Amino acid sequence: MDLSYTPAEERFRDELRAWLDAHQPGAAPQALAEWVAYGKRWQRALYEAGWCGVHWPREYGGRGASLVEQIIFQEEMARAGTPQLINLAGLTMGGPVLIAHGTEAQKRRHLQAILAADEIWCQGFSEPNAGSDLAALKTRAVLDGDSFVVTGQKVWTSFARYADWCMLLVRTDPQAPKHKGITFLLVDMHSPGVTVRPLRQITGEEDFNEVFFEDVRVPRANVIGALNGGWDIAIATLMHERQTLTFSRQLQSRVALNRLLALARRYPRGRPAAAEPRLRQKLAAAYIDSEAMRYTALRNLTRVLRGGTPGPEGSIEKLFWSEMYQRMLDTAVEMTGPFAQLVADSAGAVENGLWPHLMLYSRGRTIAAGSSEIQRNIIAERVLGLPRAK
């Protein structure tokens, strides 16, 4: 693993850092519609300045730079504390999967629109009876002339309410073994027959949705990969999600940890919280976890740089990060004690409800993109080569 950067990579970082310092988007609005418009404006500004899709091919609107520069982009975004890009599913899953498996027409149709946030994407995989056992999915697509007719229900579809396109897994051959009869379809969320109903989370936000499909017509040209060959594409998508998304999230969680350490030095618990032995131990453990995570992520990155694609090793990153992040936020809430339940206190130490909000939101991190139990199974079977779980 080479941890140094070339002069060209350092120049890229300096240029980006200067741009980010000069173009901070300001505080995000609370109301959903305004927040979406704000997120789209921010991503478009990045795209127009050439920072979005750093590693994507130039012919589809990307910068054509290396994966290392893409990582520098993520590091600098985390350092600057900028909002995350709104088209997360498109950038971290849809785009990479289209680049690898899409037709030329699909790439031309979608990639640039993903980068510029002209069209927002969501991921329609999970169903009420198909989460960990994703291949049990029942949403049906029946070919009728040049289009499919889609019927069924998805659930936990993040941000579906303002999405324009959905990466939908559908059953196209009910007679085939369950992994062999699935197709990966791109569905226009504005099609007649699509209904989205928001679900409220423990944080009070409504990121999640149920999505219902009633006789929705989808052109046959919207299949990604082969008909009935969707399972392999779904697995490739999940590996991108586990690895690429976790890489940027571990950078963001390091920023949160630095903020927590700064707070611990001044937070009053008779003496500063950082001087209290038990909390001190927990904060040190959080720092050690964060460093271990960083090197694990860099080791996986080295493997990808040497020609690999995201593989089952991404499950190690996803598992370790999601659990260490929860431990760190539990410590934050323990440290701020009863004040953690307030939105703000007079000393500003509660930081506008930041810690309880992050702590509550983090509960979903050990479930999304495959629960911790499922990641442990993947690591056992596909990384360590242990016998399959019964």
Ligand X SMILES: Cc1cc2nc3c(=O)[nH]c(=O)nc-3n(C[C@H](O)[C@H](O)[C@H](O)COP(=O)(O)OP(=O)(O)OC[C@H]3O[C@@H](n4cnc5c(N)ncnc54)[C@H](O)[C@@H]3O)c2cc1C
Q: What are the φ and ψ backbone dihedral angles of 131, each rounded to 5 degrees? A: -120, -90
How many residues line the site for ligand X (CB under 6 A)? Answer: 18
Q: Which of 43, 70, 92, 157 binds ligand X (CB under 6 A)?
A: 157
Between 48 and 373, name the residue whose CB sits nearer to ligand X.
373
Residues 6+ apart with CB under 8 A from 231: 135, 179, 180, 182
User: Phi-psi bin for 126: left (phi > 0), alpha (psi -120 to 50), beta?
Assistant: beta
- The CA distance from 172 to 184, in Å, is 10
The two three-digit tokens of residue 94, written as one number: 């849809």
CB neighbour class for 51 (10 Å; exposed up to 12, middle 13-18, buried from 19): buried
Binding segment for ligand X among 9-17, 23-31, 120-128, 140-148 (CB under 6 A)? 120-128
Q: Which of 66, 74, 106, 126 binds ligand X (CB under 6 A)?
A: 126
Q: List the beta bridge partners of residue 217.
A: 149
Binding segment for ligand X among 63-71, 154-162, 171-179, 330-338 (CB under 6 A)? 154-162
156 is a contact residue toward ligand X (CB under 6 A): yes
- The CA distance from 42 to 48, in Å, is 10
Write down the least CB distance from residue 35 to ligand X, Å: 17
Binding segment for ligand X among 6-14, 21-29, 125-133, 140-148 (CB under 6 A)? 125-133
Q: Which of 74, 158, 228, 326 binds ligand X (CB under 6 A)?
A: 158
* Neighbour count for residue 199 (Cβ, 10 Å): 12
- The CA distance from 356 to 21, in Å, is 29
Contact between 85 and 46 (Cβ < 8 Å): yes
Between 305 and 380, name the residue whose CB sits nearer to ligand X.
380
* Residue 317: active-site member: no
DSSP alpha helix (H) spans, the chain? 7-22, 32-48, 67-80, 88-89, 95-101, 104-115, 230-240, 246-266, 277-305, 314-336, 354-362, 372-378
Q: Which of 135, 371, 379, 383 binds ligand X (CB under 6 A)?
A: 371
Write down the least CB distance from residue 217 to ligand X, Å: 22
DSSP alpha helix (H) spans, 81-192? 88-89, 95-101, 104-115
374 is a contact residue toward ligand X (CB under 6 A): yes
Name the amino acid, one letter, at 243: Q
Write down the least CB distance from residue 181 to ligand X, Å: 18
Between 66 and 372, name the residue whose CB sits nearer to ligand X.
372
364 is a contact residue toward ligand X (CB under 6 A): yes
Near ligand X in 14-73, by CB under 6 A: none
311 is a contact residue toward ligand X (CB under 6 A): no
196 is a contact residue toward ligand X (CB under 6 A): no
373 is a contact residue toward ligand X (CB under 6 A): yes
Give CA angle at 77 (39, 285), nearest 5°.
120
Write down the least CB distance from residue 120 to ligand X, Å: 12
- The CA distance from 238 to 325, in Å, is 20
267 is a contact residue toward ligand X (CB under 6 A): no
Q: Which of 367, 379, 380, 383 binds ligand X (CB under 6 A)?
A: 367
Binding segment for ligand X among 248-256, 295-303, 326-334, 367-375 (CB under 6 A)? 367-375
Catalytic position from the list 241, 323, 373, 381: 241
Chain residues that interact with ligand X, rule: CB under 6 A = 122-126, 131-132, 156-158, 364, 367-368, 370-371, 373-374, 377
Where in the sequence numbering do the catalytic residues fall? 241
